[in-house]
Structure 1
Amino acid sequence: MRRLTLAVLASLALAGPAAAHRVWMLPSSTVLSGTDAWVTLDAAVSNDLFVFEHVPLRLDGLNVTGPDGAAVTPENTATGKFRSTFDLHLIKPGSYRAAVTNEGLIASYKVGGQQKRWRGKADSMAREIPADAQDVRLTESIQRTETFVTVGKPNAAAFAPSGKGLELRFDTHPNNLAAGESARFTLLLDGAPAPGIDVEVVRGGSRYRDKSEEVKLKSGPDGTVTVPFAQAGLYWFGAETQDDKARTAGARRRAVYNATFEVLPQ
């Protein structure tokens, strides 16, 4: 018997660390100067990192936070065949965070012996999944995809965690990464340090390498993870966990976090 309680938003729910497709946002620049800076950000889901060849990342859950912790309005938002895009006018000095958060409910079930899948809002599930469906399995998903841009001197006001799902606390500023150095981050789950979370880090340009050269890590007892950045370039950071803390009765929860960093030469 399906039991429906809280309504949740539709989920993208693609791409955790072990998935073939990866979800990402990519800014045209990550470190800028001046008092009237602009950046364009692309957002997509792809097999090859930072290549537009699969589907766009929808911007329904887009939020941008400025250096003072206040919301910043994105401009010129658009979604095409393979990517979404938007501009940010960086008027204030400091660090900005752009994040797309998607929450949703996913169901797998059988009708007449055939396997089916559905995703959407819980309040529409009773209408869209037949009442005689068998082997119904529910997963609540919360996925956060983000990236970071700094104008002038970096600060951290934009990085306050929401306390919901998987997030990073930045012990090393994400716009202060240099080749040959390591960065220290702390994984949070619902605002608390999250130990034992699997992490994958991949340098961009993998379509031009024989191997993707991903680095697999795991958060420590205090949730910290130390990421080595051997070379300059763009990097994708992915983490995922599953547990039984879903708000919808009978569901499991899947929390996914993805971020793009730029590592600069020494």
Structure 2
Amino acid sequence: MFKAMISIGLLSTSLMLTSTVSAHQAYILPLSDLPQGKQVLLHAGYTEDLFVPEFPLKAQYYRVNPQGQQQEIAPVTGLQSATLIELPLEQQGTYKIFALVEHSTNYVQQKGIWKAVYDMPASQAPAASERPYLLSSEVKDTDQKRVSKAYGQVVSYVSKGSPTSQVLTPSGKGLELKFDQHPNQLKQAEGLAFQVLFDGKPVANTGLHVEQAGGVHADAAEDTPDAVSDKDGKVQIQFKQLGQYLIKTSYPKTKTDEQPAADVYHYALTITVR
């Protein structure tokens, strides 16, 4: 897998939840998902070795308090390797913290294969045989073209005191997970059960990927899901070990090299299993 650095600007604008050009993954992770103080620090970024950030996650950040009230929050700026968010905890209960990212990517089809197109000098790119994308200078007038817009949501939950459920209620918009258990009360023996929803409706046969902290994110495994939703959109995940995990999914899902959808929705969640 090609892992050469293109530029921080390209990574921050063109990488979504998973990258088509480099094995990096977006995340938000609290220092503790069960904090007891007046605030908790979270770090967010693009990571290759979960959850060691390499680039900041440039996005719009929001929090939802235990009463369900949403407010935009401003992260610490100017850092080169990560984004830091200090979340005030004025009330007891569960908070949702999430980042929204949007970007558009140009694709073209050459020799029956669809590839993303990036605008960068050929002198800064590896040889064509060593990368899964095209340069704008390599696009031909006769190539079939398509623009795909991606909408990403990167999510984490923290609970001060007894966990509450208000922030877990699906909004009925976009790609979401409806949990059977509270994400701050996960036990290895019980696993995690949830339902995949899109605009409030169950999504069947959707692949999900589960990655544990300390592991290396690999784009090569993107076409091989760790779990698949059933006909009712329901999923049951078992965890082999205790620790922190990232769960992610996309809708609609297309395989590598296939024609991309006009609109693609991504969702990534960090959890702690005890």
TM category (shorter chain) comes to: 0.7 to 0.9
Displacement of 1:37 after TM fit?
Answer: 2.4
Aligned partners of 2:195 and 2:232: how far apart in 1?
8
Match of 1:26 in 2: 29
- 5+ residue gaps, structure 1: 1-9, 119-129, 245-249
Superposed CA deviations along residues 143-198 of structure 1, whole A, max 9, x for unmatched, are: 11100000111111112323332111111100010122211111111221111110
Aligned partners of 1:234 and 1:13: how far apart in 2?
21
Matched, 1:39 2:40: yes
Matched, 1:165 2:168: no
Structure 2 counterpart of 1:203, from 212, 219, 229 = 212
Structure 2 counterpart of 1:138, from 137, 147, 154 = 147
8 A Cα contact 2:95 2:158, kept in partner: yes
Aligned partners of 1:13 and 1:203: how far apart in 2?
19
8 A Cα contact 1:11 1:103, kept in partner: no
Matched, 1:253 2:263: yes
Match of 1:48 in 2: 49
Displacement of 1:77 after TM fit?
Answer: 2.5
Match of 2:68 in 1: 69
Structure 1 counterpart of 2:194, from 163, 185, 193 = 185
Aligned partners of 2:14 and 2:233: how far apart in 1?
26
Matched, 1:242 2:241: no
Within 5 Å, which residues of 2 pair with 1:95-134?
95-109=94-108, 116-117=117-118
> CA 1:12/1:191 → structure 2, altered by over 3 Å: closer, same or farther?
farther
Superposed CA deviations along residues 6-53 of structure 1, whole A, max 9, x for unmatched, are: xxxx76424079x832111110110133xx521111111111110123
More strand by percentage: 1
SS in 2 for 1:31: coil
8 A Cα contact 1:198 1:241, kept in partner: no
> CA 1:251/1:233 → structure 2, altered by over 3 Å: closer, same or farther?
closer
Displacement of 1:236 after TM fit?
Answer: 0.6
- 5+ residue gaps, structure 2: 1-12, 110-115, 120-138, 255-259
Aligned-partner residue type, residue 91 of structure 2: K
Displacement of 1:228 after TM fit?
Answer: 0.9
Aligned partners of 1:158 and 1:68: how far apart in 2?
7
After TM superposition, the score normalised by the length of structure 2 is 0.73
8 A Cα contact 1:180 1:231, kept in partner: no
> CA 1:161/1:79 → structure 2, altered by over 3 Å: closer, same or farther?
farther
> CA 1:178/1:263 → structure 2, altered by over 3 Å: closer, same or farther?
same
Matched, 1:57 2:57: yes
> CA 1:73/1:136 → structure 2, altered by over 3 Å: closer, same or farther?
closer
Matched, 1:13 2:16: yes
Aligned-partner residue type, residue 144 of structure 2: D
> CA 1:190/1:103 → structure 2, altered by over 3 Å: closer, same or farther?
farther
> CA 1:50/1:11 → structure 2, altered by over 3 Å: closer, same or farther?
same
The count of residues paired between Structure 1 and Structure 2 equals 226
